[in-house]
Structure 1
Amino acid sequence: MGSAPSGLKREVHEELSCSICLELFTRPKVLPCQHTFCQDCLCNLAGRGGTFQCPNCRQQVRLPFQGVAGLPDHLMAANMCEKLQKQEKHLEETREQPQSGNRCSFHPSEEVKLYCKQCNVPVCSECCEEGHDGHPTTGLRKAAQERRSTVQPLINEGRNIMENYLSFLKGLVEKEKALVEKKQQTGNSIIQTYNQMVQKLTERKDHLLSESQQSHREDLDRMQTERDRVLADVNELSAACDRAEQKLQQGWVELLSQQTALTEVVGKYRGKAAPTPVQTQPAVFQPTDSPVPVLGHVRVQFLPSSPIPATIQVAPTPIPAAPAPITAASAPIPAAPTPITAVALAPIPAGHRLIPEAPAFSNGAAGGTGHYHGNQTHQPQKVTFGGGGSGTGQFWYPVGVTVSDEGEIFVADKWNQRIQVFTLQGTFVRQFPTVVSGGQKMDLYDVAMDREGNLWVVGCDGSLVSSTTKSDEFAVQYNKQGRVLKKTDLQKSEWIRGVAGDTRRNHILITQTMGEWHYQRHRGKVMVYRSDGTLMKTVGRQQGMKEPWYITVDRKGNILVSDNMNHCVYVYKEDGQFLFQFGGEGSGEGQLYKPHGICTDRAGNIIVADTGNRRVEMFDKNRKFLKHITTDMEKPEAVAMFIREVGGYSFLYADIFMTREEFEEMFDLTLYEKVRKKYHAEGAFPHLYDKVKPEVDVFAIGRQCAEDFDK
């Protein structure tokens, strides 16, 4: 297997290389024949002309008005090239960096000697005293030996899957060649049939024109004969009249001699009938009633193809200490904040109104052309994992979720003060505590990923708080293994915050609400930071946002914010200009009640966790309601999306379950510390679940608390 990686890398390079410059694509453009080339290569090829031939298939290409720049972008190829270049750059930097031995990334002065079996990470002695206090540990050598037997099969399996995909890509190249040849043959057959039919039509045309000409000639001959006859009579009459008139002027003798001749001529024509009209028979063309001749029919012929390897359905070899996902079928749902639900959906074609059921996962490429019709029902595939508690893979209020390009799910586990990492199949991978500095931890509000693949987490001081003291609040950047990269202090507010990454500009956006909750005197806005933590600007102060909570940035850079108290979503342009808002309090189609999590897909459709209505909604990019994605959740909190290069989308929902008593305690700030102490002391959550609609109760309780404060 030693040469496998380099061989695979070479084959991937070949698939993503321009056939003109033989380098990785740079700003790849797609021709009408579906072949892809670099924009600069096409500019050099086209020159100043408006047409040129495709270098691969020789098909004539007519450029749009904008030239080569107006050709469609190949976004998938561009993204894959960018990822490949980043990987190569990272590998190069890793080779150049001096090796630090077994030093701890959190405590560089300490050497890593142990392995935390609960968090699945190497730790040093200081780590054991801080974030891993009380966790079971083992030696590094023993942990490595235990993991080696499971990691190597996973590597082999991954290589095999890659081989399958590369074989599939090779098959696509061969099929493309066969399709080009078949298309050429089909075109030649169409042209040949057309030419034959044109020849027959030409012969028929010439025959009909000949018949028309013959008929026309006969009519002209008939008219000429009659014309000659009448002209002879006219000449005779004219001559007789002219002679009589001339003799009339010469004398009486000449007049008397000419009278007899004139009388005879006039008498001859007096009793003769006048000329009758000439009967002609002009030719008239009568086209047949038959439609335009049909050359033939082009029928789709299905060619055999290699199936796409369904890696999503491959169960990975379990890693020791990784718990099996808890689902509704395998274990009862605890009463505390519990599961994360991953739903795999097919891509949604632009311009189609979706039916009440979500389409099932398909093997079509993202952005495919599938249609959803009529009364078809497709049930999305679901994977539920989690469980209430503080153990590995369990949650205590999962408030945020994001997905990396590699398909790892990062869950912000609020009161367990940690980030947990899972695969798309729900298998636990690792976790790390949300340490700020000096062992201080924070309670989490939300998590997002920036352009470099690092995590940004917003939260507050995790020490026990009182009802009169505001906690410190932070935005902390971690790498994917949990190492603190930078920290930004935020203004104290005691309001929940959301965070999002603008990957186009590498900016970080954080929501902020200021004001007293019980007096309803609060306003919200969005803070835009550079990646170094410098505040750039604020957005949304003029629109009257009351409680902006979750936030996302779409592929065009537009900013979307859910307002928990105004029951709507605000949409701004990348420069902060207000575009529109949608929603409004209610439970009907297009209405929202306490919206929380929000994200967008590749087509610009907007997915909103309609928390108060216990559902997840989808709107198009122009705010038109499309469908209910799911309506069977308790308290959908956060949503995120993972776009597969092959296979569609995965929407991820953080769902929360709480008892009535817990809601009452949470909304009474004086009991906040009591709740924290109770759960930390007992180490578990209550197992009784009050079968009520907790969202309705919590908002009623919240209003009652406000009235009590006013009194």
Structure 2
Amino acid sequence: MAAAPSNLGTQFRKELSCSICLELFTRPKVLPCQHTFCQDCLQGVAGWGGTLRCPICRQQVTLPPQGVAGLPDNLIVANMCERFQQQATTSEETREQPQSGNRCSFHPTDVYRMYCKQCQMPVCDECIEGAHNRHLLTTIKKAAQENRPTVQALIHEGRNILESYCGFIRGLRETEKTLNKRKQQTDNAITQACNELLAKVQQNHLENLEKIQTERDRVSADVNELSAACDRAEQELQQGGVEFLSQQTALTEVVGKYRGKAAPTPVQTQPAVFQPSDTPVPVLGHVTVQSLPSAPIPAAPAARGTGHHHGNQRQEEPQPQKVTFGGEGSGTGQFKDPIGVTVSDEGEIFVADNGEQGIQVFTLQGTFVRQFPTVVSGEVEIRPDDVALDGEGNLWVVGNSGSGEFAVQYNNQGRVLRKFDLQETGWYRGVAVDTRRNHILITQTTGDWGNPHVEVLVFRPDGTLVRTVGQQQGMEEPQYITVDREGNILVSDCENHCVFVYKEDGQFLFKFGGEGSGEGQLMSPRGICTDRAGNIIVADSENRRVEMFDKTGKFLKHIATDMEMPWAVAMATQGQLLDVWLDISMNNVRLPALSIPEPDYHGYLSKLGYVHKVWRRRYCVLKDGCLYYYTDYNSKRAIGVAHFHGYRVEPMATGGKSHAFCLTPPDPDIRTFYFSADNEAEKLKWMECLADSLGRWIKVD
């Protein structure tokens, strides 16, 4: 029963927390639907418009002339929040006092009062008067403050030692996997060699039998002829008459035919003979035993402030193997909008597709294995933004369902294990897992395009927020994130064209990159991962390449170049031997704007962004119900394509934009597209051509 007040306090805090910022209400405002939010949070949702939708029930709310500030105050909630904060302050002060559980182990009736610096232990009044008389003492609270860094350093050192031993065990496991794989390969090679020898023996045997059968057939004809002539003459002779005289001529001819004919010669065959070698055991082939890289023996890490190295041995660098698979489409193994990738220890590739394909699973050779929808609960599904694997081989997926944003844990077959809600932001997110601590790291961007608020949220698997990282360093549009073997957090920022690096506790270390196409520079970096040596691999999206940097951010080399906008990267390790790079193209639209044959219509349109709600002018080409959009008419490749089969074109005034129209989908859960033409005549022409293009390819009731 002692835990009840704490649980009750937790429940009260949850009820008094804003569902947008997840903090206690600040200047709480109540909507007509009776849902309450912080004034600043509602202001962020409303933006510059005169209406907003309730973030919980989605009810449309018309704001008063004063805007969000004119909404009614929730005075009851405000008072309760104030009292709750006062109670929390009182509870904190109470916790600083000696607790009844802090009893002296030598004098159980007394509680600890002081800390003996000489003996480095807490003591009670009787201890002070007895064994610790005249010792140097200090208060419990001061001792805790003084010793906290030492204990934290010991914890950190212990975790590093633990990680080295865990790494050793992982190395043993990988070596075991490699041994099993090599043993199976050797078994297969021996079996194959044996089968090949047996096949040769069988083939030789069949050839010999065929020779024998050929000779048998040839001689059998002669035997039949001679035997028949002799049988007839003998039969007539035995009857005692003179009829045998009629057979004499024929018998003389047949016997004379074979009298001068050479007798059949023996058939020359070449039977297979197995000749064992001089070794005691016959061998089918040469079996060589190769030494595998042994797992490193763990050693205690160097003390803080000192360096360490791993010896002077230099291993030959493995050649990367590029595996390309997929292609644009909605069929099995195809992608609409592949956006995230991760690889399991078993060599399975998991691809997150933001275009309603959920998660698809492939082998390292690109063979499709299975797929599953990214279900949250019931029939609610999310469009995944990113995917990561935890230490148990389960998947963490972040995404948006249209009514909320979630982090969901699945097993590798797609069964939901757990989930927790995220703040609804409308921006893409990235996810990574710190397997040492089993923490889930998720990028979060709030606010509008011109003034984003960016941070990395660190959660426990149950959704408890541990800390936030990166609020002060000026990140603008992060999405992809990874954690290296030392626990450092790396975030790619496609708007700043660089990578930010933080310690596991959130301390900023450095950033590298910078806008450009030279060595060490980046243009809209996206996916990011690290290899076993700590090198950093970045999908340099607009430079169409994958780059490698060392752990300090120094450029090392180009992994791959001349790609079709690489979006996500992952490192797969099989045993100690194989590193496989994977790249996924955002789309397969390669034709220049003026090279699409016989377009239905083309020209400039302004397009409303789905995520950032910003109008951008694009050169658009309409062809067979698909709209390809480019930066301008000289662009060599499209930056995107929208498939409008099943959509309807309708006029609409949205966001104060003139000459606007929209394309509405057959399913309200699918995205609606908004466009604006330069003038009313162009708007009508675009609507006419879109309707005609769609009408030729779909049946409209």
- What TM-score do you get using the length of structure 2 for normalisation? 0.45
Largest Rg, 1 or 2: 1
Greater relative contact order, per chain length (Cα 8 Å cut-off, separation 6+): 1
TM-score relative to the length of structure 1: 0.44
